[in-house]
Structure 1
């Protein structure tokens, strides 16, 4: 009898223990399954053409219209709130002031640790904007002439001239008075002769008379013509490129110019990883103003946003052909697996529709397949 009683009590205790373990998990699962019924607070910030705010406070843009599309599809109630900046938008989302964040929000590993993201809905890249008045801007040319590469090439040409002049002096100083008169006088006469030959200047003076000296002279004449042609062609090409296209024609050029970025965006991390110094600005408009005033030489930011601002604001700037650091835009939200899944399904459906193609064409002037 006692054994039977002990068995019943043990089974009852085990059931209570199992219920205490399973119940919180079930409650959490049930909480995740709870549908969204209240009004969502959706944070955003101006980032045309993805989030545009007019004078009346009304919002439009690619990201805003996409959010409205998916929110209507899954029947979400919401209100839009302007966060002012990207750091404020992400911080308030992480703190719980916002339930969702919609703008040109780039997915990064650092941000993924703080908040959650839906599937990406737009693939972009980082672009570089420079001043548009290159024809009136000689500073890139001046910087090119003072660059290490130009000095290195000039010293190489001078070194070749000294080598040829030294050989001429070596073979001629004992028999040719023009290269005699002591080592200093003879060497300087040899270098002067080789420089005249390299620049194809016909001046009076000593000329090689020995067989070895004349062989050196013939070889130097051929080499100097090729060397000066290569040097002139390379210099002309470089200066023309700098003159017409500015000082930035590759990512590596950013190391030698003054770079501006928008504070708190992923571009800061991208430039820091490449050890490129930069100056941060509060907004894209402030960075474009600095570019116009000459405070910076290049503005690095999301390429589609800069293209929109240049095209619609009449800014005296242009985009280079350089694009780096691919970016994916997504909707950011607090950790809520149920809402994320619903949004992902709605996003996929929207992106596969003709409606999405029309939105991209209306704002960006591009068609997708």
Structure 2
């Protein structure tokens, strides 16, 4: 009797602990399917005719199958839209080529990184055309400078003609066109400090105008000479520099980016003239049409584009902007994070993740 009593007490005490241990050892099984947002670009993700594919999609499918997770895939129009969906509770997970950044860590949680990517620059591979060489001459700044110079010469020429034509008609004829022309010639040779000596003022007013003009040309001549030298250097150089070899080369350049990506952030950091685009295709079209001098984006996507479009006159510049890791996104303090991390590490150690990447990219990295 006493033994039965002791056994009963022992069972009553041990039952709660047994249930706790069992609960801890069981995998997490969601009662409702997870809402998984899919964002990005090939070779990582793509949505076509109700079918999802890509490295990120296949990786998630492997993880979900091994962890017994039920889910539904939902296409997202952009990374920022997907992140906002996770923050608002509209999505449980966001998958795709999503760069892990400190700014995003403040809003959401990331899994273990599953891919290391580089931010690069897509540029034109075409040879420099004649128009590219002479185009600096037709810039607004150059044209306006030349126009302004002509206007000043015209004004000075008129003043000299008014001051000298009556008492000095041999050098400044009384006829308006000839006289003003002589005045402009006099102003021009004075500006260039050539001073042929074929014309000289004899009136007090003419000498005052000439003195003021000479003082003005001391400043104007140096600026004009520097501007002309710059334009001529570009015009006569054997090749217009279009290659980007260091990040400083993109300063003040027209760089197309995809809105909301880290490529846009880096273009702003390096003080480029940023041209936001809704997607990679439109950004590349801006480069092809000459609106942009480069496209800043993730190198895997740029390489994949070149792999799919081998005849495109484009290339990836020998320039490393930044290196970033890709991860999946979940809400902060989500209980699935640890389990997903374990599954990603398993796929890495088994070599399965590398197999997925190589198959999706189809040897692109080795061929580029």
Instruction: Identify the TM-score tier after normalising by the shorter chain.
Output: 0.5 to 0.7
Select which of 10, 16, 39 maps to 1:45. Answer: 39
Report how far residue 264 of structure 1 moved: 0.8
- Structure 1 pair 239–98 and aligned structure 2 pair: CA distance change class (3 A): farther
Tell me the distance in 2 between the aligned counterparts of 1:74 and 1:299: 39
TM-score by length of structure 2 reads 0.61
Tell me the distance in 1 between the aligned counterparts of 2:330 and 2:55: 18
TM-score by length of structure 1 reads 0.61
**Is the Cα contact below 8 Å between 2:120 and 2:298 reproduced in 1?**
yes
**Offset from partner CA, 1:312-367 (integer Å, 9 cap, x none):** 13543211111121111001111244200000000001112232222222233258
Tell me the distance in 2 between the aligned counterparts of 1:289 and 1:307: 16
| Equivalent position SS for 1:322 | coil
**Is the Cα contact below 8 Å between 1:250 and 1:322 reproduced in 2?**
yes
Report how far residue 138 of structure 1 moved: 5.3
1:255 aligns with 2:251: yes
Tell me the distance in 1 between the aligned counterparts of 2:136 and 2:347: 50
Matching residue of 1:95: 88
- Structure 1 pair 247–138 and aligned structure 2 pair: CA distance change class (3 A): farther
Size of the alignment, in residue pairs? 250
Matching residue of 2:354: 357
Matching residue of 2:198: none
**Offset from partner CA, 1:124-163 (integer Å, 9 cap, x none):** 111000122235475278669x9xxxxxxxxxxxxxxxxx
- Structure 1 pair 110–125 and aligned structure 2 pair: CA distance change class (3 A): same
Matching residue of 2:65: 72
Tell me the distance in 1 between the aligned counterparts of 2:112 and 2:52: 23
**Is the Cα contact below 8 Å between 1:141 and 1:239 reproduced in 2?**
no
Matching residue of 2:300: 304
**Offset from partner CA, 1:289-311 (integer Å, 9 cap, x none):** 11010011111011111111122
Select which of 127, 130, 135 maps to 1:134. Answer: 127
1:285 aligns with 2:281: yes
**Is the Cα contact below 8 Å between 2:252 and 2:273 reproduced in 1?**
no
Matching residue of 1:327: 324
Report how far residue 85 of structure 1 moved: 1.2
| Equivalent position SS for 2:321 | strand
Structure 2: gaps (5+ residues): 1-19, 140-189, 195-232
Return the structure number with greater helix share: 1
Structure 1: gaps (5+ residues): 1-25, 147-183, 189-234
